[in-house]
Amino acid sequence: MNDTGSDSTIPPDADSCGCGDAADDGCDVDYGHHDDGHESADGDVVTDGAGDSDVVRLSVPDMDCPSCAGKVESSVRTLDGIDAIDPQVTTGTLTVEYDATATDVAAVETRVEKAGYAVERDASETTFSVPDMDCASCAGKIENALDGVSGVRAYDTRPTTGNVTVSTDESASVADVTAAIENAGYDVAGTSADSDDASLDTESVWTSTRAVKTWTSGVFVALGLLFEFLLAGANATLVGAGGAVALGGVEITVADAAFLLAVLVGGQAIVTNGYYSLRNRNLDIDLLMSTAILGALAVSIGFGKSLYLEAATLAFLFSVAELLERYSMDKARNSLQELMDLSPDEATVKRNGEEETIPVDDVSVGDVVLVRPGEKIPMDGTVADGESAVNQAPITGESVPVDKTAGDEVFAGTINEGGYLEIEVTSEASDNTLSRIVEMVEDAQGNKTEREQFVERFADYYTPLVLAFAVLVAAVPPLVFGAPWVTWFVYGLTLVVLSCPCAFVISTPVTVVSGITSAAKNGVLIKGGNHLEAMGEVEAVAFDKTGTLTKGELTVTDVVPLNGNSEEDVLRCARGLEARSEHPIGEAIVAEADGAGVADHDIDDFESLTGKGVRADLGGTTHYAGKPDLFEDLGFDLNHVHATDGGVEATATRDLCERNDCLDLLEDAVPALQREGKTVVLVGTEDELEGAIAVADEVRADAKAAVQRLRDLGIDHLVMLTGDNERTAKAIAEQVGVDEFRAGLLPEQKVEAIEELRDRYDGPREQRPRSGRTSFGGVAMVGDGINDAPALATATVGVAMGAAGTDTALETADIALMADDLSKLPYLYNLAHDANGVIRQNVWTSLAAKAALAIAVPFGLVPIWAAVLVGDAGMTTAITGNAMRLSRITPRSLRE
């Protein structure tokens, strides 16, 4: 059963795409007026040429069988004015022609719903920048406000970025959503409807209006304390007994007046936000603090019990706490902003033979941009002219600049180190690699981890329980034991302050933001907090061989000259034979010969010998290159071949005959090379064997070190999965040091291998290998992101290698290593494992601190200022600082 549906408005010329025909299901359109140019419900003008009927096409995704379609059709036909009905099960759409004078769209939708099926309308998505939304409490207030807006289908609040993404149908506008957010007490700084990115507020926290009011409030608190304790003799009564103004039994001194002014200035924003919280039925810190402040003032003024100091302290210190929380959150947000700032705002393009500087948004695909030394590359593209070294660290995390020449791919945000480059643009600014990275990092922050979901569920119970405890503390001792009720009322207010769960609710998301953005800066794209969490807990890692543990490119590793020939002779003949071959082995041999500067051969009468090799005439002599079987068929005795002096030592695989100048190729040399994972090609004529060439997909230089580093970090099991033959797989496995290898696997067999590993490492703890950890386990699969997509999807975490510029790899994997660099894999695991530790530290430390403070309150050990500074501001700042430690983890060279 489908869970999504999409629709769009019928175009003005409906017949041009067939949408005017009820039977057509090639276009998914919304409803329109099919008369003489009336507007559709979406505002588009439509006609059908008939002039007397309207057509509506609705998305009914749950209508997915003929029985469903029958029910819907029967229900709609009960309406008057229905001319035709066409339910399309395959597309989940319902097309209805009707007489607008007899019925309308709303009635049709009602009849569909009466049949038991929901109608989904086309949704548009807008991102709103709400910089002041910097905590879970703020987000909750906005969510409650959005719940009351008709037409809002879904929303995603992200305090860590200060953005709210809202999905609406045509009945809700951007203005409606903006008004709802502002009615919740938060200003909207911008929207994605206004610009490409909803911009974050850049105003300094410490010079903002809130900060100025806070510092002013602090001055009044200081004045109040000065008169209350140091200048007690000058602390005259202003209101009440002996004062200039009489106000019943209430007495207000100079110190009290200063405290009241502190509350008036510093508490204004708090009480205002508390009002919005109450209006939106959100029990958050603003409402709790407003209750505490107003409660203290009510007792002071209404009952003559002086709690002005407590009210002023709450107003001032909580305002300081809010500033600290905003500053801490801005630090986390800035890590993402740094990614956004990698790409320049302007580009120099060559148009009509002239250079002009324009905004990057105005650069089109096919334009040629000019990049001079030291400048950032503004767009994805390919080098059309010029040579230079490009620093790709901002995208791939590579520490060494990469040489770029004509035809090479470059990415937006990378830096041109040396030469001049002309680059042909291959993607729009909104769709380049950097934009996709930023978008995925932003999306990743909305992907909640299991711990985050647990903490949020816990918070739903925490606040009511602590509030209930606060009421008991404030009421029971005075009523039951005759204790001073003012003292215990203050204790109750202190518990009200501690009842806000903000500190531990924010503990996971700020850690996830820090980890994901830190990884992105180092060339690792993590597509969700849940993937970060899962990667830190895996106990087994499975590697694809080709392109992951090996370079993925065949190269010549050994040249063995025979019967008096030199290496150059062997390569010259091999190149002539393989020059017309399209086989990867032939391409590797030609590349080696080119690199060695070997001269060309005249080639005639080329023939491919299927399954065995190739034949051609070189300089009038017939030559062959291919498998040992080919030369056995030609009648050669491969057990007794004369070796050229010095030509075999490099292979260390010879077995010389008694004269010490003969080589047994068939039994010793060829198998020895094959045991090293190499493919052997023999070269010769019909009369003479000239030499042997070994070709292999070389193991990456850092593969063995990466495997060992993962083992040192605590990974229990490392396995290689490959479709290659057993002998080659064994050779590679031994070189890199994996614990196990599985060869000859088809894609579906790789999936089965991953499922088997998951059963083992996701199973009961007693059935798993010794680990010493209490993690939930799991399996990571590392591959190229395209050929290994099924296995990547099956694994607990799928990790794609070398994903920069590769759409498929970016989309299929949970995590993408942007560069072709295995050293990033141990870094990734280390970062993820440490992130999980930081999350645990943050959650349990904040909970423990809150619990300890709450228990100590009834014993008079926690003054109200300590509850604010330690339980709220202190914990939030400490949690954010602890999370930002993840930015210090950087990839470590495997050669250290």
Residue 488: CB atoms within 10 A of its CB come to 22
| Residue among 121, 132, 125 at smallest CA distance from 181 | 132
CA dist 320 and 241 (Å) reads 35
DSSP string covering 769-837: PP-S------EEEEE-SSTTHHHHHHSSEEEEES-TT-HHHHHH-SEEESSS-TTHHHHHHHHHHHHHH
The secondary element (H helix, E strand) that includes residue 258 is helix 254-266
Indicate the Cα dihedral angle 332, 336, 337, 338, nearest 10°. 100
Angle at 10 between CA 9 and CA 13, to 5 degrees: 140
DSSP string covering 191-209: ETTTSSS-PPP-S-GGGSH
Residue 276 φ then ψ, to 5°: -65, -35
Q: List C-alpha distances in Å: 228 to 245, 253, 254, 863.
A: 20, 9, 8, 18
Contact 706, 894 (CB under 8 A): yes
| Residue among 160, 131, 166 at smallest CA distance from 146 | 166
The neighbouring-strand residues paired with 420 are: none
540: three-class secondary structure by DSSP: strand
Q: Is 600 among the catalytic positions?
A: no
Contact 509, 445 (CB under 8 A): yes
Q: Active site residue: 330, 544, 702, 872, which one?
A: 544
706: three-class secondary structure by DSSP: helix
Beta sheet of 689-699, edge-to-edge order: 550-561, 689-699, 679-685, 621-626, 613-618, 603-609
- Fill in the DSSP letter of residue 165: E
First to last CA, the chain: 54
| Residue among 669, 672, 692 at smallest CA distance from 682 | 692
CA dist 361 and 344 (Å) reads 11
Q: Give the pair of three-digit tokens for residue 393.
A: 């660290």
CA dist 493 and 474 (Å) reads 8
468: three-class secondary structure by DSSP: helix
Q: List C-alpha distances in Å: 843 to 454, 455, 526, 847.
A: 10, 8, 22, 6
Placement of tokens 């096919």 in the chain: 366
Contact 422, 404 (CB under 8 A): no
310: three-class secondary structure by DSSP: helix
Contact 15, 29 (CB under 8 A): no
Within 8 A by CB and 6+ apart from 15, the residues are 21, 48, 49
β-bridge pairing 815-817 and 797-801: parallel
Handedness of CA 799, 801, 803, 806 (dihedral sign): negative
Placement of tokens 């696997």 in the chain: 745
Is residue 701 classed exposed, middle or buried when 0-12, 13-18 and 19+ CB atoms within 10 A define those classes? Answer: exposed
β-bridge pairing 381-386 and 368-371: unpaired
CA dist 477 and 483 (Å) reads 5
Handedness of CA 238, 239, 244, 245 (dihedral sign): positive
674: three-class secondary structure by DSSP: helix
Which residues are identified as catalytic? 544
